């Protein structure tokens, strides 16, 4: 079987370069190309050289349709508006899309889901295997513990992150709500400040911290009187997200059209 041809959106960014490195070192995968926004300084440069991989004889481009045509799977960890456009075009071309962008609004998530009717979309807030295991554990623990256990989701990221809570934190909160059998948006508490009153029983709270170059740390705290359970994942480098993204790209080959998650990739899709 031929290698899976993988294209990278935002190929000159930190995550884009990490993806190129991961594809380069993964058996069964090959780099098909990479694009950046029009006018970016790397346009026309050798894709491998700008990522520190050595020459690949592939130029950095800015044509999304051409990248789709050259690729079996495209990986996108860029920005919401880019991801929505990529999903629509992937539906036209039949190219699989691995979408790890966070901060996407509900109406745009619906557009991505619609694209999954015509092609394979693997959509996750976080492609790290460890984080997805944390999500599954959160769902299971929440199902066992009653609402006397307060749930708090705490996350810290680098100073440049623009959305809060992180997409991963929200995914963890949603997993906790699913485990409890409640509607997430009806029990969530965010951004406490000033005289807020006592914490509501059964609420799922969030705290977001920003600073330094932290790749990402997430904790789900279940706190009751006299005992506390904490589930934590700490990311040391973006390579772990790239590793999961490429794993998902390999998994996507030959799948029927649909919107999938990283839990599907890991075999938890039916739990």
The pLDDT tens digits of the residues spanning 96-123 come to: 999 999 889 999 999 999 999 999 999 9
Model confidence at 229: pLDDT above 90: yes
Q: Band of the pLDDT at 270, cuts 50, 70, 90?
A: low
Integer Cα distance of 120 and 98 in angstroms: 8
Q: Band of the pLDDT at 268, cuts 50, 70, 90?
A: confident
Which domains are seen in the chain, by residue range?
Answer: 4-123+238-265 (3.40.50.720), 129-235 (3.30.360.10)
Kindly report the pTM of this predicted structure.
0.82
Selection from 45, 2, 82 nearest residue 17 by Cα: 45
Model confidence at 269: pLDDT above 80: no
Give catalytic residues, as residue numbers. 157, 161
Number of H helices, E strands in the chain: 10, 11
pLDDT for residue 125? 83
Q: Which two tokens stand for residue 143?
A: 């199902």
% of the chain with per-residue pLDDT over 90: 91
Which residues lie below 8 Å from residue 63, measured CB to CB, with a gap of 6+? 35
% of the chain with per-residue pLDDT over 70: 99
Helix (H) or strand (E) segment spanning residue 13:
none
State the chain's mean pLDDT as an integer: 95
Mean pLDDT of 155-182: 94
Integer Cα distance of 30 and 3 in angstroms: 6
What are phi and psi for residue 43, nearest 5 degrees? Answer: -55, 130
Helix (H) or strand (E) segment spanning residue 235:
strand 227-235
Q: What is the DSSP letter of 53?
A: S
In the chain the first and final C-alpha atoms are separated, in Å, by: 31
- What does the pLDDT look like over 200-227, one tens digit per residue? 999 999 999 999 999 899 999 999 999 9
- The DSSP secondary structure of 145-192, one letter per residue, reads S-TTSEEEEEEEE-TT---SS-HHHHHHHHHHHHHHTS-HHHHEEE--
- What does the pLDDT look like over 189-201, one tens digit per residue? 998 889 999 999 9
pLDDT for residue 221? 98
Mean pLDDT of 135-147: 96
Q: Which two tokens stand for residue 129?
A: 């295997």
Burial string for 72-111 (b: 16+ CB within 10 Å, else e) reads: bbbbbbbbbebbbebbebbbebebbbbbbbbbbeeebbeb
Higher pLDDT, 139 or 269: 139
Q: How many residues does the chain have?
A: 271
Model confidence at 271: pLDDT above 80: no
């Amino acid at each position: 079987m031929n290698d899976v041809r993988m294209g990278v959106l935002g190929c000159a960014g930190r995550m884009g370069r990490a993806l190129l490195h991961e594809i380069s070192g993964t058996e069964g995968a090959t780099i098909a190309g990479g694009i950046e926004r029009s006018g970016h300084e790397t346009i026309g440069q050798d894709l491998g050289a700008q990522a520190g991989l050595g020459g690949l004889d592939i130029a950095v481009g800015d044509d999304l349709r051409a990248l789709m045509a050259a690729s079996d799977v495209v990986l996108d960890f860029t920005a919401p508006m880019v991801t929505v456009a990529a999903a629509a075009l992937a539906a036209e071309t039949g190219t699989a899309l691995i979408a790890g962008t966070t901060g996407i609004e509900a109406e745009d998530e619906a557009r991505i889901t619609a694209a999954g009717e015509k092609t394979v979309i693997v959509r996750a807030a976080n492609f790290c295997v460890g984080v997805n295991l944390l999500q599954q554990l959160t769902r299971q623990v929440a199902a066992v513990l009653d609402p006397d256990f307060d749930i708090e989701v705490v996350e810290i990221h680098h100073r440049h992150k623009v959305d809060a809570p992180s997409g991963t934190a929200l995914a963890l909160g949603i997993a906790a709500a699913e485990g409890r059998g409640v509607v997430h948006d009806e029990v969530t508490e965010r951004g406490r400040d000033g005289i807020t009153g006592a914490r509501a029983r059964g609420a799922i709270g969030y705290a977001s911290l920003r600073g330094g170059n932290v790749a990402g740390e997430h904790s789900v705290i279940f706190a009751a009187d006299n005992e506390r359970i904490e589930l934590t994942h700490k990311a040391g480098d973006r390579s772990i997200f790239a590793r999961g993204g490429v794993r998902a790209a390999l998994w996507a080959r030959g799948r029927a059209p649909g919107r999938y998650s990283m839990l599907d990739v890991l075999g938890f899709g039916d739990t």
